Amino acid sequence: MNRAKRISELQYLENYRVLFANLDEVQDLKTELADYGYDDAKIAEGKALFDHTQQLYNQNQQETAEEKEAYARFSDAFDVLKKTYSKHRKIAKVALMKKPELWKTLALDGSLSAAYLKAMQEIKTFYEQAQSHSEAQPLLEKFKINKAAVDAQIAQIQQVETLRAAYEKEKGESQDATQQKNKAFATLSDWVREFYAVAQIALDDRPQLLESIGKFVRS
């Protein structure tokens, strides 16, 4: 969600908060509107919708923050993995300079894919082969791509995958929270529009009272 929309939603929530505060505090409003079906019970329905929308908005803000935090943790771990892999990749091309036929086996051809899943597969292939390939392993060990180095990267791969799963979970929760919040805003907005249409009739001869609530509805 962009910044402009967040500001808009905050403004709507503030407008609705003041609207219901005025409906609760100004007795003349209560008297005039009650004759047109907007008694205390009906107003309470709208206030409940507002409270629900405010709650879902706050929840959505929290879920969005958690999604961003989860992505940052995943992204940082992935960057660490790629940085070390990039170094190992360059070394491997030198170590296997006289064995170009092994490059494809270790996924050294071309450059690392930009797509996450494909990149991870290429990185996994490299370290799996670096540890198990009978020809490649001794050549790489001469350049310190040994078992300890490979094990450390395999552990980092597992960490990246764990953090990626956590991020996807938070992303799903954030998307669901956004959908629930949007539905609540739509329901509340419909209630307020209908209320204001009736209020225009009920307060036709009380323009000051209409203005006291209208300025919080028509934005």
- pLDDT at residue 216 in the model: 59
Among 93, 98, 96, 73, CA closest to 171 = 73
- pLDDT at residue 213 in the model: 82
Structure tokens at 167: 């991020």
> 0.75 exceeded by the pTM?
yes
- pLDDT at residue 208 in the model: 85
Over the chain (219 residues), what is each successive 10-residue block's mean pLDDT?
A: 66 92 89 94 97 98 98 99 98 96 94 96 98 96 97 99 98 98 97 93 88 65
> How far, in Å, CA of 92 to CA of 86, rounded?
10
- pLDDT at residue 41 in the model: 96
Alpha helices in the chain (DSSP H): 3-25, 27-34, 40-95, 116-132, 136-141, 147-202, 207-214
> How far, in Å, CA of 52 to CA of 185, rounded?
9
Helix axis angle, 27-34 to 147-202, nearest 10°:
70
- pLDDT at residue 2 in the model: 55
Could you state, in order of their start, the residue ranges of all structural domains in the chain?
3-214
